[in-house]
Amino acid sequence: MPELPEVETVRRGLVSLVIGKTIRRVDVLWPKIIESPEVDQFRNELVGETIEGVGRRGKYLIFHFTHYDMVSHLRMEGKYEFFPEATTLDKHSHIRFVFTDDSELIYNDVRKFGRMSLMKKNTGLQYKGIQQLGPEPTNETFDLAEFETRLNKAHTMIKPLLLNQKIVAGLGNIYVDEVLWLSKIHPEQPANTLTTKEVEILHQAIITVINKAKEAGGTTIRTYLNALGEAGHFQQELNVYGQTGKPCPRCGTPIAKMKVAQRGTHYCPHCQQLKR
């Protein structure tokens, strides 16, 4: 599943490839991907629209057109592919944006879970899923005091709490394991039992890990490729995710794997001990 750094890589790829392009035609081969408006309206409204920018909030892409915003959520396997000239579609190509210069942007999604919504210009951030998101994990937007207040009120395990996107946006299964390892916090530690010092370390680890992953272009897991067709290389920097049985880079103890809230979870049994 693409996480925030992968979606950011897709966004940058799109910015370099489709800004300034005007839509001549939109083909919708799998209507369910279009959440709103109706498919015919979606296709018709986009004709003649120019892509002025591509933004991102959490794992949502926001295309800024002349008169509309389009929110696009890749979910499990969605990806965009750009072709400089007309191409043939394969069975996983579901939406095709044909530009006036004959180039094409194709939305491809093996699982078909991705969704697109066309909204009035400058209202993309009001999309329901986006409104529920916590702050972006950057120094400018992610407030430590607010984070501590939210954690203090939560009796749930820290890992699923960080995964739910409401306290901070953009942490999926890979990066949450990395962040907790870096912070020496057990994934099942109840959030309200963390000390002020631990919260501070965790806060900084979230910002650091996501930033590094963004710089590396994300992590390529399975078939995931970015919009430019080039793989991210953050997997070279993974300390625990997918490292079961390998020595912890900090203490040498073999990395263990367990289920936490139904998610495969990697951790160091020595560095990350559950405190009662």
3-state secondary structure 88-142: CCCCCEEEEEEECCCCEEEEECCCCCCEEEEEECCCHHHCHHHHCCCCCCCCCCC
Place of tokens 């490729």: 225
Pick the closer one to Zn ion by CB: 141 or 253.
Answer: 253
Taking the complex as a whole, how short is the minimal distance between the CB of residue 269 and Zn ion, in angstroms? 8
| Whole-number Å distance between alpha carbons of 32 and 12 | 26
CB 170 within 8 A of CB 211: no
Residues 6+ apart with CB under 8 A from 259: 265
Catalytic residue (choose from 3, 77, 81, 188):
3
Taking the complex as a whole, how short is the minimal distance between the CB of residue 239 and Zn ion, in angstroms? 9
Is 31 among the catalytic positions? no
Is 276 among the catalytic positions? no
Restricting to residues 81-100, which ones interact with Zn ion according to CB under 5 A? none
Pick the closer one to Zn ion by CB: 152 or 253.
Answer: 253
Is 3 among the catalytic positions? yes
Neighbours of 226 (CB within 10 A): 24
Establish whether 203 is an annotated binding residue. no
DSSP codes joined into one string, 173-208 = HHHHHHHHHHHT--TTSBGGG--HHHHHHHHHHHHH
Catalytic residue (choose from 11, 57, 59, 115):
59
Integer Rg of the chain from CA: 20
Exposure pattern of 86-111 as b/e (b: 16+ CB <10 Å)? eeeeeebbbbbbbbeeebbbbbbbee
**Residue 270 within binding range of Zn ion, rule CB under 5 A:** yes
Pick the closer one to Zn ion by CB: 112 or 250.
Answer: 250
**Residue 182 within binding range of Zn ion, rule CB under 5 A:** no
Pick the closer one to Zn ion by CB: 11 or 266.
Answer: 266
Is 275 among the catalytic positions? no
What's the maximum distance between 2 C-alpha atoms anywhere in the chain?
63
Q: How many residues bind Zn ion (CB under 5 A)?
A: 7
Residue 190, preceding bond cis, omega within 30 degrees? no
Taking the complex as a whole, how short is the minimal distance between the CB of residue 151 and Zn ion, in angstroms? 23
Pick the closer one to Zn ion by CB: 75 or 250.
Answer: 250
Pick from 85, 84, 106, 105: nearest CA to 30 = 106
Catalytic residue (choose from 75, 112, 263, 269):
263
- Identity of the amino acid at 208: T
Taking the complex as a whole, how short is the minimal distance between the CB of residue 270 and Zn ion, in angstroms? 5
What mask of x and - would describe binding to Zn ion in positions 222 to 261, judged by CB under 5 A?
--------------------------x-xx-x--------
Establish whether 92 is an annotated binding residue. yes
**Residue 76 within binding range of Zn ion, rule CB under 5 A:** no
Q: For binding to Zn ion (CB under 5 A), which residues are involved?
A: 248, 250-251, 253, 268, 270-271
Mark the binding-site residues for DNA, compressed into ranges. 92, 111
Mark the binding-site residues, compressed into ranges. 92, 111
Residues annotated as part of the active site: 2-3, 59, 263
